[in-house]
Every structure is written in structure tokens, then in C-alpha cells.
Structure 1
Amino acid sequence: MRELSISLSQVKGRVVWPSDPDFDEIRRPFLGGWDRSPAVIVRVADAADVAIVLAAARTTGLPLAVRSGGHSLHCLVDDGIVLDLHDLRAVDIDVANRTAWAGPGATAAEYTAAAEAHGLMTGFGDTGSVGLGGLVTGGGLGYLIRAFGLTVDDLLAAEIVTADGRHLLVDAEHHPDLFWGIRGGGGNFGVVTRLKLRLHKLSAVYGGLLVLPATAELLADYMRLSLEAPEELSSILNVMPAPPMPMVPEELWGQMVAMAMLVYVGGPEDGEKAVAPFRALAEPLMDMVAPMPYSAVYMMEDPDYHPMALSRTTFLDEFDADKAEQILARLRMPTSAMPACQLRALGGAMARVPADATAFAHRDRAFLATAAVVYLDAAEEETHKAWAVEFGTMMRGWSGGGSYVNFLYDDEMDRIHEAYPPATWERLVRIKQQYDPENLFRGNANIPPK
């Protein structure tokens, strides 16, 4: 420990040791029931601090985890070093050029609020508290993918500290291979300390929550309509028992429903036309779709809420009533009171980018499906995990699988090859060999060097 302390003595940010009174609070990730205890957490102040931490990891041989928002399953490591990007959260908006430089520790909600003040927006995921570092480098699937594409499609440049401590600016002209790799390859090649992102003109949208009865026919029709809808419309559908939330009528609590969050990029009149076919599927149980600021798509989060959850995700090429009925059957045999299946229709702007343009390559897939379970008792983890794995395996069998690297759990790293086609994988391995030949960055969905 003395060697580690000496190695970190020049850090300008905060070095947090297990003996510090707030160590447990700082190490707590978003997900509950996950208890890993690092040897030290370093909240870096700048890129120079990042280089010092990486040198300490190389010198001591301790395992390394890199953390931005704490949602990742790889953001903690037992008896190792956590490089915490929490304090790198500045967001600088260039209104004239419609670009922004953002720190990886900034959350999607923080960035969105800063951009929305100027009538501008970049699309991220579906949760406001996610840190930008991991979300962006893994791809970025959210409410604007059909209108504007993935987040990596709006990544214009990045500043990165590599395994050997170099501080690089990467873009289409500078280190273009590395720039290609961080657009979907995750944190395998270095620590991103700043991100330059394209901004689109957008502040208000027509969107909100639409709750419909969950029948097999309705789910199949909903997903078909989602692909046929104008590209300005994206949605995420959660099939689940209605949760006991204040916004949900009490008579719906526990009833199997289709909870859709729709977002239309455009005015209310056109938005209403785009949403009308979905409203016509059945008499809505709840209809909160209306003009709203884009920032409102990120629902309010309780900072003290740390759910225990498990999931399995796969891409699908087709979806019909038979598949929907199989999903409903699984949801009717849960191991927890809170099972769910999330369905996302893809396509649109995301699909128009060539598959080899970025390391994220699943451009031609139609849907993304996730089997998930939230539970309250950590002792029941294996039971719930078996349910989620079996559910996910069933859906993978429908179209041969395919994984989204940001949704891979740390116990399914055997699926890493499903995230990347063979040619993409080989290119990523070559980039890894060049920039991290010793595999310092291995506490992730790992792409090992040759």
C-alpha cells in the first residue's frame, strides 16, 4: 500500500482510501447488491492525473477499473484501483458551430440541460444519470436514434490518455484508427477525458408515456408500426406488470401492460399524426404523450434508489405475435414481482451509416430485446439470474443473437464476439495491440491484444 500511496502522491484530484469516512458512499455504483471493495479510488482532476493513475496501475500490477457515471458493471474492482472520472464533468457549448466539448463524468441529464438552454441537443441513452464516458464509447442507443443516429455518429473528436500515458487528440484526421475504435469499442484503448459532440437543433418534442394492454397481437403490431413510423419517431416499449408509482393509477398496479415512451422530433401537429396509429391499437390505459421539453424524457430518479437487477439482451431481425406470446408467457412465470421485457425498434438514421464506419456494427438489425428482472433480496440472485438467462437464450435463438456491448454483464463475456462481426473484431484487436499491448484496460468488455 505504501508503494501505491507514493505512486499517487502527485495527483491533484482526490485520492480516497478505504479508511476515509465517505469511501463506501463514493464506491457505491448505480446497481445495488454489488459489493466490490477497491484498494483505492482516485477522483482525477485532469488528464495529467489520469496518466499518473495509469502509471500506478502499471507499476503496482493492481487491476484497474475506469468509472464515469457508475452504471457500468465494470466500474469497480476488488483490491484494485478505480480511476473515477466523476469530477471531469464540464460541458462547453459552441452555439455557432453546434458542437460541445464534454467531460466523461458529466451525465446525460446534465449535458442535455446545458444544450437545451440553447435549443440544441445530442442524443444519448434513456437514463439521465448515466455518465457520458461509457455510454458514448459503447455506441449510445436512445430516444433519438431513428432521427439522428447513435451517439457515436455525433462524436466528432475525443481527447484520450493511452495506456502508456500519452495524451492524444483523436478524430477523423488524427489517429483515425483509434477514433474508429472508440466509437463502439468501449474503454479498451484508453481513458477518454473529453468528448466533442455534434449538436442538433432541438429543444421541444412531442412525446411521453403511453400505456396499452399487453396482448401478443398488440405487441406485434406496435413493433411493426415502430419500424414503419416516420424516422422522427423513436420509442422504447417495456412489457411488464404496471409498477406502483404515483403516476400509475392504482387499479393498474401489477397488471401486465405495455408501457411505451415515445419521442417525436418535431411539432405537436405532426407528432400527433405520427403517434395516432399507436393510440389506435387499443384504448390507452394511460396517455401522457404531449408537447414537452426533450429533457423531460429522462424521468426523475431518486439518488438513493439502487436496484438489484439482471438482464440479457439480444438483437432481433423479426418480431411477430408468436414471439410476443412467448415473451408474455415468460413474464407470467416470474421469479420476482418486477420482471420486464424491453423492446426497441431500430432503423432510421442509425441504419444509414455504413456498418464498417464505426466499431458499432449492428446497423442493419431491426430490434433490440432485453429480458430483465429487478429484485429485492440479494440471496435470490441465482434464481433470478437463471430466469433472465433462460429468457434471453430463448430470444437469442430467434435470430442468432448479437449483443450490444453496453448491455453485457460481466458474467457473459463469452458473448463479446457477438458484439462485433469478424472483420470488426480483427480491426479492434489490431488497434488494441497498438495502443494497449499489455491489456492494462481489461476490466471491461475486453478485446485482448494478440
Structure 2
Amino acid sequence: MPSPPATNLQRLRDDLAAIVKGPVLLPDDPLFVERSKTFNGKLKPNQRLVASPLDAHDVSAIIKFCIAHDLSPSVRAGGYGIAGWAVAGDIVVDMSLLREMSIETPTVREDGTHTWTRLRDMMPPVVQEGGGAAQVPPVRPAAERTTSTKRRREDSPEDISHSDNGLDSHLRNYAAASQSVARFLHGPALPAEDGEEPRRRPTNRRRTEISAVSDHDVPHLSMPPLTARQASAESSSSSSQGRSSNSGMGTDGRALSTSTDMSSPTDTPVDSADPQAASNDFVPSHGPSATRDPFGYLSSGPAAPPQVVYSGFRAFPSSTGPVNMFGHPIAMQPPNIFSSVPSAFPQYGLPGTLGHIGNMARAKPVHTHAYVTIGAGIKQKEVDVYTASHPLEGVSGVSGAVEQGLVPYHVPTAAHPVGSSIMILTGFGFLSRLHGLSIDNVVEMEMVLADGRIVIVSEEEHPELWWAIRGAGPAFGIITRYKVKAFPVPVVFAGNLIYRFHRATAPSLIKHFRDCIKGAPRELYANVLLTAGPADKDSLVVIQMCYLGPKEQGAAYLQAISSWDGERCLLNEVNEKSFLYQQDSIAQILRGKAGRQWYLRSSLIHSLPDEVIHKTVMQFADTPIGCTWIFELSGGAIADFEDTCLPKEQREATWTVAALHQWEMGIDDPRCITTAEDWMAETIKSVSVGGPFPAFLGRHESPARTMACYGKHWTRLAALKREYDPANVFKNNFWPVDKDGAPIALLDNEPPSPSMTPWQTSQS
């Protein structure tokens, strides 16, 4: 549909703005690009308007407006997507201003079952008349009968109406999750070794004419140089962590660079002779001398607040060091992370390791779970930060008494960075093997249907829709609020083991890892990933583990995995940590960057035989830089749930597999796509159980592949789609067919590429 004249577009904007409280933006508005930005830099923004609703009533009004004017809506909800559906419509419904958050403990019924404060009983956000912004007051709604802590974030109308950040925008920085990992990834490369060919750059550089994000909008990413004092402290800290693992492998003092910025010459250590560098004790996380965050593209808001330090599981401001809730200094035991790694978590005040806080890490929860209310504009990192900074009561490991604010609770979901829509598209992460997928832990949702109706959906209300939206939610409506379970996670024993990638030895390492975790308990999450480049750096094999418990319970798995002696372990930083800290670690390893071209392929497999491992290693050796392939241990509690549209076959898969490819704008190398497709078709397909988890559906998926996500449930799911959205109002998502059941053509906001598969080219 061609764009209307400017006068007609202005009239459309004025008509929509007259019926919604949130802002409605024209293309010339300064916030228009920011409110419709996506992770994939190749996407062309072709929307006419961007509307940012403040509540479900605004969303309803926008949908009815689209129907009346024959416009297509698309939904940008709480995160940056690589697939492009979020900005494919005529009107982008930007959910970023729906900022509600609260946490509560469960209410016990007379029969011993648990309940929560229903969404319809909670006070709605207070909105400013005349198109201002949501102002969420701290509220204790109907559940005053409980002992819960009801806390919500207050955002001023001015803050929200003039920025895209809302709740603590600085928390969207995906910081150097582990300083030892960060320094390792961005330090100087190890000397070249015989036996492995250099990684090839993507080729066929050309000018890219269509991009959703300009070079001016997306900063080049590189880690800041270390000050002399930081470099010395980091070396000490890394050595301490290596010894504490009991594996005998830790770092040897040399570092390896896998910076994602292929053209950055700035990722070099500081010259210790530099007097200015030597005088810096600490580089703050905000202000003119701020450390450049490798994931800073996710932050464009106000400066971070003063540093917060962490005592037990309670955060208190201090400019001098760690203090307890009474303001008294806390005696620290080595290693003192506040001095050895001063910038580890300044924006959270949450340190990475918990060994120094003694018995506080052994606190026992009072409640089996809690309930968290989440607005659709909240990103997962914000959820984790919020629940970590609002811990609930627990039994002290020191006094044995019940104390308030002792144990943090976390929502089962994917690792950073993801948005709220992960709650209806499976959501697989560190907690999934113990507590199930995200869709298994949502208990209630507020949503807007295709006819504009606002409904509350749960097991008791609209049960058929409840079954469908947990796994296929974006096809059925727009979720505005979630109520979801959170579980106590006092401490995790987690981290990374990093090795060089050599095609001669990598199969042995992967097979060793696979065998070590056979029969692992549900408390253990583990993965192995292969990550390529940059061209002048070494490719890596990274093993990640996260045991949901203290070191004493998880150390046996670290000892077993690290006993492999095929090559030297370059870095072992597995240790006791806060769960929040571990959630950030994958962002550092995956090294994603907004504004690049992205391609994703995934699958679920029932086994990982030797032949698949050998073929994977050989195929990965020929991938261009910017490619990451991953095997994640699945199973456990995921297979316990059967009341969603995700079929049993997918739930019983033992591994989830993904190829995550990113490459620079201006490059059109077919290998960036074909290597992922070939791996899936030639190697992974032999052990596949069908389609991937829906959260991993990428661009240009065939209808058959999307349908395979739902297996035997597809027919029932399609019938419900026809019932709830007969006109296919919500067509700008993964749903593979139109209202007549015919395959939907490719999105028109990404130009055809020579790298497309034959099916994709035929659909162009």
C-alpha cells in the first residue's frame, strides 16, 4: 500500500491521537525511529505511524482504529527482534510505556492451594489526561490480607513522555557481566597455533541501501581500555577464581580477543605508563568519563544513579563501600570484589560472586514461589533487576531466624537480552529444566483481541484461548499485562569455561561435555557453543554451566567437565554468583550488536550422537566471522507440562540447537545464511524432532517449518485462530498463513538477497 500524502498522514495521526492517551508519532518526530527500532539493521522502516499506548484501553482504541481505516498493526513489545514482524505494519504499536511491575507472596487458600491478586483487582496505572504518560503509583491492592510486598516503579510523566526508557533505562546496558570474561574477550589475542586455518571475513562488500538503523545511530562497540590499577586487580581476581574452582585450569594470564567490532582498533590494553590511566581508581558507569558498555546500544536514557553496593541480598547506596541495612561497614573477605573488580556491577550494585558474603548466600526461602506482575513494555533484564532488588523473607543462614528482604526470586525466562513477548513464545533459560518454560509459569494475562475487546485470560477464563496463547500468543492478540510465577534463587554456581576452537580437538571436547552431563539433575543448566572470529582473532569453544544452588552441590559437574585435557582451558570463571549476574553473562559471550544484519535458525533434537558432533565441527570451521552455534541441554521439567499448544514431542527434546549469525551492514556474503541453513539441513535434521521453540522462529521461515513448531496441535491452533481473528488482523507475526489458509508472502521490509534459499526466492 503506497504511503498517503503528508496531509492525509497528519490527519490520520490527529484522529488517532484524539482517542488515545499515549503519544502518536509521525515519521518526522524525533522519537519515531527510536520507538520503532529493531535489532536487525537490514530492516526498512515502512510504518506510517508509531503509537505508544499507556494501557489496555489505548491498545483497544488503536486496534479499532486500524480496522476502521483498513490499516495493519504490528506490535513492538518489550524487546528488539531480529525477525522484522514488529515493524511490518502500517501502525507500530510500541508497548514500551507499559511499565507496571510488582511482586507479591502467594495467598494460601483453605484447601492449601495458592492464589494471587487478580489482574482485574489491581489498581490500573494512573494516566495523565491529554496524551501524557503512565504514572504508576506504589499500590497495595486487594491482597492486603497477604504478607506480600507490593512495589511498583514510579515514573514521572515527563520522563516517560519524552523518552523511550521509562523504568531505569540504565539497566538496559548489557554490561561486562564478568570482568574476567570481558577482559578475556577484548584483550590481546594469543599467539597463532599450527593446525587451524584463519577465519575468513564475510565477502562481497557493497553499499547497503536499506537500513533501519544508520551508522550514525549505532555506535561501534568496543570494550574500554583497562586502567593500570584495573588491569592489575583483574589479573589478581581471575587467578583467585581459577584456584577456587578446584579444576586446576583457570587463566594463565594471557587473554584472547573476540571483539564483535570487526573494524575497531581501540580494543587494546592501557599503557601502564600512561599517568592519567594509572591515576584512575575507578571508571564510573555514567558521566563524561563513562565506561563504554559493549551493549550500550540498548541504552539512550538518563545517567545511572549513584553506585549501589550489595549486602547479602539487599542493596543500599554508599559512596565508601559495602554497608548493611543499618549503615554499618561490612568486613569483606578476599577476594574483595569492590576493590579488585571495581566496575563489575556499578549500575546494579550487585557483585558477580557471592563467596565473600558467607552464610547470607545460604539463606533458605520461606515461600515456594512468588507472583510478579509485568507490563508488556518491561524487558527481561528489568524484571530480573527488579526482583533481585526486592527480595522476600527467608531463613537466615546465620541466625536461623526469618528475616525480611533476604532471598531474591526470579521469573523463568530466557537470558538477556529479551523482551516481554518471550512470555508467550516459550521462553527457555537457566531455570527451565527445574521450573519449566516461561509459558508454563504464566498464571494470568490481560490482552486485547482482534475486535478490540479487553479480556483477562487464565485457566479459569477463556480456557481454549489460554491453551493457545501460551506458545502462539502474538497470533491471537496483544498482551498488555502478565502475572507470572517467580522462584527463589539465593545463589548459583555458574560461569564459563573457554577453549580455543580447533577442528581436530573440538569434537572430543563436545563429546566429553555431553557425557559429563548425562543424567544431570534438573538444577543443572549447561550448554556448549562455538563462536567465530573476528578474522584476526581465535574462534572459541565455550562451555556454560549454571547449577541452581551453592558450590558444594554443583562443584562435581565443574570438576568432571574441566577434567578434559585435550587442550588448555583459557579461562575458567565458574564460581558462586547471583542469578542476575549469570543472566548477563550470555549477552557477553554472544557478543550481539544492534544495527548489524542478523539471521537465526534453530531446532530441537532428541540426541547428540558422535556423527552429528563431528559434522558440526567441520561445518562450523567454514563459517564466516560473526557466527555462533549452540547446543543447550533441555528436558527436565519442560516435559512435565502438557496444557499448552506446544506438543509433547518438542517438550521431550533433549537439546535445543541454534545458529545465531550477525554480520556488518554493507556485506552480502551468502555464507552468512547458507552455512546456517546447510547445518540444519545436512546435519541437524537427522536428529530433529520437528520445528524449534516458537521463540526461535527467524526470518523467512517456510510455513511447514513454522507449523512443525506445533506438530499435532496445529489443526486445533489454526481453528482457534480462525475463531478469534477471522480477518487475520494480527498478521504481522510468525503466523505462516493468511485468512484463507494460503502461505503468507515474505515481509516487504527487507529486500530480497542473493543469499536466500530457493523457497525464499520464489516467494519474493
TM-score, normalised relative to structure 1: 0.91
Q: Verify: 1:164 aligned to 2:451, yes or no.
A: yes
SS in 1 for 2:604: strand
Q: Verify: 1:193 aligned to 2:480, yes or no.
A: yes
User: Would the aligned equivalents of 2:516 and 2:557 in 1 still touch at CA under 8 Å?
Assistant: no
User: Would the aligned equivalents of 1:8 and 1:53 in 2 still touch at CA under 8 Å?
Assistant: no
CA distance in 2, matches of 1:227, 1:40: 52
Query: What is the match of residue 81 of structure 2?
Result: 71
1:193-220 C-alpha deviation (Å, 9 max, x unpaired): 1111011111321111121354112212
1:85-107 C-alpha deviation (Å, 9 max, x unpaired): 11112211003551011012111
User: Would the aligned equivalents of 2:41 and 2:665 in 1 still touch at CA under 8 Å?
Assistant: no
Q: Which has the larger radius of gyration?
A: 2
CA distance in 2, matches of 1:381, 1:413: 22
Aligned amino acid, residue 268 of structure 1: K
CA distance in 1, matches of 2:564, 2:499: 8
CA distance in 1, matches of 2:491, 2:695: 28
Query: What is the match of residue 371 of structure 2?
Result: 99
1:157-183 C-alpha deviation (Å, 9 max, x unpaired): 111111111111111100111111111
User: Would the aligned equivalents of 1:13 and 1:45 in 2 still touch at CA under 8 Å?
Assistant: yes
Aligned amino acid, residue 318 of structure 1: S
SS in 2 for 1:199: strand
SS in 1 for 2:40: coil
Aligned amino acid, residue 359 of structure 1: C
Q: Verify: 1:149 aligned to 2:149, yes or no.
A: no
Out of 602, 612, 615, the position equivalent to 1:326 is 615
1:305-332 C-alpha deviation (Å, 9 max, x unpaired): 4332212111111212221121111111
CA distance in 2, matches of 1:210, 1:309: 26
Aligned amino acid, residue 71 of structure 1: G
Please show how residues 232-311 of structure 1 align to structure 2 within 5 Å. 232-241=523-532, 254-282=537-565, 283-297=568-582, 298-299=584-585, 305-311=594-600
Please give the root-mean-square deviation of Cα atoms over the aligned residues, in Å.
2.2
User: Would the aligned equivalents of 1:227 and 1:347 in 2 still touch at CA under 8 Å?
Assistant: no
1:57-93 C-alpha deviation (Å, 9 max, x unpaired): 2122222211111225244435611111111122110
Query: What is the match of residue 386 of structure 1?
Result: 674
**Structure 1 gaps, min length 5:** 245-252
Q: CA deviation at 1:29?
A: 0.8
Q: Verify: 1:425 aligned to 2:435, yes or no.
A: no
Question: What is the aligned residue count?
Answer: 436
TM-score, normalised relative to structure 2: 0.55
SS in 2 for 1:196: strand
CA distance in 1, matches of 2:484, 2:719: 26
Query: What is the match of residue 66 of structure 2?
Result: 57
User: Would the aligned equivalents of 1:307 and 1:374 in 2 still touch at CA under 8 Å?
Assistant: yes
SS in 1 for 2:717: helix
User: Would the aligned equivalents of 1:220 and 1:321 in 2 still touch at CA under 8 Å?
Assistant: yes
SS in 1 for 2:731: coil
Out of 345, 348, 353, the position equivalent to 2:636 is 348
Query: What is the match of residue 398 of structure 1?
Result: 686
CA distance in 2, matches of 1:211, 1:240: 11
Distance 1:39 1:211, change over 3 A: same
The answer to which structure has the higher strand fraction is 1
CA distance in 2, matches of 1:290, 1:440: 49
377-386 vs 32-41, which moves further = 377-386
Q: CA deviation at 1:242?
A: 6.2
Out of 63, 71, 93, the position equivalent to 1:83 is 93
Give the fraction of aligned pairs with identical amino acids, expressed as a percent: 23
User: Would the aligned equivalents of 1:36 and 1:76 in 2 still touch at CA under 8 Å?
Assistant: no
Distance 1:121 1:60, change over 3 A: same
CA distance in 2, matches of 1:310, 1:280: 35
**Structure 2 gaps, min length 5:** 1-8, 108-369, 392-407, 742-764
SS in 2 for 1:186: helix
User: Would the aligned equivalents of 2:529 and 2:630 in 1 still touch at CA under 8 Å?
Assistant: yes
Q: CA deviation at 1:27?
A: 1.8
Q: Verify: 1:359 aligned to 2:645, yes or no.
A: yes
CA distance in 1, matches of 2:696, 2:441: 20
Distance 1:444 1:201, change over 3 A: same
User: Would the aligned equivalents of 2:41 and 2:596 in 1 still touch at CA under 8 Å?
Assistant: yes
Aligned amino acid, residue 611 of structure 2: D
CA distance in 2, matches of 1:220, 1:166: 52
207-216 vs 435-444, which moves further = 207-216
CA distance in 1, matches of 2:23, 2:575: 44
